[in-house]
A and B are shown apart, each in its own frame.
Chain A
Amino acid sequence: MAYQLYRNTTLGNSLQESLDELIQTQQITPQLALQVLLQFDKAINTALANRVCNRVNFKGSLNTYRFCDNVWTFVLNDVEFREVTDLVKVDKVKIVACDGKNTGNAAE
């Protein structure tokens, strides 16, 4: 069971919205939509693990942190995201992080 962490991303949300539309128009069953989402979880986890190798650095000041159920949640302020090519500055960023070593507990 892969992390369901990525369902609340731009990609994941678009997928969920599309599936909801299909359910509304009776083209698929909710059970099928759930299966799609589970497959999405597996796919996105393996894709990020194996097919992505960009490196981004970020630096900012820590506002709050939390660690519960093996999930870290940070809120940073005045953060600079730095990639080799470019720089992005933001006032506030929320980071939700799960353990990288493969455990398998589905964590939102």
Chain B
Amino acid sequence: MEQNNSLPPFQGLASPQGAMTPGMPIFSPMMPYGSGLTPQPVTNTNSLSLLEEQQRQQQQQQQASAQQAGVPGGLGQTPQLYHSQTVTTTTLPGNTPLYTATPLTPMTPITPATPASESSGIVPQLQNIVSTVNLGCKLDLKTIALRARNAEYNPKRFAAVIMRIREPRTTALIFSSGKMVCTGAKSEEQSRLAARKYARVVQKLGFPAKFLDFKIQNMVGSCDVKFPIRLEGLVLTHQQFSSYEPELFPGLIYRMIKPRIVLLIFVSGKVVLTGAKVRGEIYEAFENIYPILKGFRKTT
């Protein structure tokens, strides 16, 4: 049952780690506290996971009647609350369903017997998404700069056209190779929509633009834990992950290994999370760090 480390923690779903996968034990007494590697066990009390728990319970009931359910099939029904552009991962083929049919195995979703901590109830908000797409044809940047609106082109300084649109409020860097970077969107869908709008602008100028290999490269989120944090303490106990140089930068830079996310943690309790390719990584990283931060709450 010690599968916490090996299973993919999420399947492109936006929920906090651990509560999603039916059958996955999310409480493992072997987990070292505050390792920063994997999540702490939690029962989720935020509304996202409550909804998912209900749905999972429905599924569980379905599967209870079917006994030895094929887990991958069951998981396929798991609703996605956030539409993510990235691939939905399914369980690895090697993993057997964890709730194999022994009559005594509880089929209810894994509410750990004694949860060590509550879930944070705080959801990080996405602030910025960076994505790239290939328009699939060479572009004449001077033509684009002269004919499109809201464009800047200064080849002596930077070899791309910088174009902006108001809805979604984003900025695009368009290169002569036909590749484009789109920044500033607040959600995956908005980023894709914005990139399509830029592609349409380029297309209307007469270039045979396509929309190839759209990929989200980076996602940034932020939230507030609502209590002050002892950064000095945190850097002492988590020195393999943290770097804190108050004379250089007032925030502690925490490089979480799993998921691979960088967090900027400030004394005020504000946290910035970056480096994610999917929304779930942000949520997972925050759920991982929250109990650690609680342990370093300032009491004065």
Contacts and interface: CB of A to CB of B under 8 A. Distances in A.
Interface stretch (B17-25, B145-153, B282-290): B145-153
Interface string A65-89: 1111010000000000000000000
Interface in B133-184: 142, 145-146, 148-154
Q: Give the dominant DSSP class at A's interface.
A: strand
Contacts of B148: 66
Interface in A41-74: 64-68, 70
B154 A66 contact: no
Number of chain A interface residues as a range? under 10
Nearest to B149: A64
A70 B146 CA distance: 12
A20 to B, nearest CB: 28
B142 A68 contact: yes
A65 B162 CA distance: 11
B197 to A, nearest CB: 15
B149 A67 contact: no
A67 B160 CA distance: 12
Contacts of B151: 66-68
B185 to A, nearest CB: 21
A64 B154 CA distance: 17
Which of A65, A66, A67, A68 has the most chain B CB atoms closer than 10 A to its own CB? A68
Contacts of A70: 154
B153 A68 contact: yes
A66 B149 CA distance: 6
Contacts of B154: 67, 70
A52 B148 CA distance: 35
Contacts of A66: 145-146, 148-152
B145 A68 contact: yes
A65 B149 CA distance: 6
Contacts of A64: 149-150
Interface of B: 142, 145-146, 148-154
Q: Which 6 A-B pairs have the closest CB atoms?
A: A67-B152, A68-B145, A64-B149, A68-B153, A68-B146, A64-B150
Given A64-B149, A66-B150, 9 more contacts: A65-B149, A65-B152, A66-B148, A67-B152, A67-B153, A68-B142, A68-B151, A68-B152, A68-B153
13 contacts: A64-B150, A65-B149, A66-B145, A66-B150, A66-B151, A67-B145, A67-B151, A67-B153, A67-B154, A68-B142, A68-B145, A68-B151, A70-B154
